[in-house]
Structure 1
């Protein structure tokens, strides 16, 4: 079940926080966020697909990609990783290009939760106005929830270590 929290504090009016428990071990969930062969299968809201132009998962590395909307609109995307702590945490900067002045910061956390993993996504925008635009124009909360839903569905399809063919 997806959960959205509203925080208080210095960044409260600039942030979105979403979490979801998925039925997969933390290491596999972390891998699904860190390997392009996985990301291209589930990344994005319902109806979107992703084309990767470049991918290097390391601190300072980048993922340069295009998200294709169901209406045919292409969205240029750029993610640069700023912190990687396997299998617990990933911090990143996400914008339309390398030098996007409106890029936002996101922190992904992966915590064991029963037999699954709780994924936390906390995003902080440079301004309240950019956060509000993301929520109102681009439906960022619903899109984030759908993206985690797509991940949850994908994780049920990929083989686990030690699984028999």
Structure 2
């Protein structure tokens, strides 16, 4: 999955500003896509040059002009091709797991316990944020497929918390 696929997906149902695209990246899909604010405008510019999005500039008084981006038929075709393409192997990265994996000779038992407790807190915070966001998105009209992705994220986070709590108990005993 490339940033361009994500942006075309975000624009599939309605035109949006760069700010709105970033909001979706950071709040709605951040648990399965690591997008940055810095990739949005270069990607939009490239997609616009390729005729896959179009930009409408709205003149505003007392504010900077607002650029609103919408997907074109060429953009919809690229999105369709991406959605129908073969699934690519997922990439998972975790600084927490790297520290544990290589920490045998370097980390004290207390440091490992602190790392695990910290990771549990991070995951519990992610669960709370996702549950709260889900309530908000349901009021806005989230689709059934989007609910599946949120449920997947919640199930993953909850399973990790449960597993880490079991391992923490073993270490503390």
Please state which band the TM-score falls in when normalised by the shorter chain. under 0.3
Higher relative contact order (Cα pairs below 8 Å, separated by 6+ residues): 1
Counting helix residues as a fraction of each chain, which structure ranks higher? 2
Higher-strand-fraction structure: 1
Computing the radius of gyration over CA atoms, which structure comes out larger, 1 or 2? 2
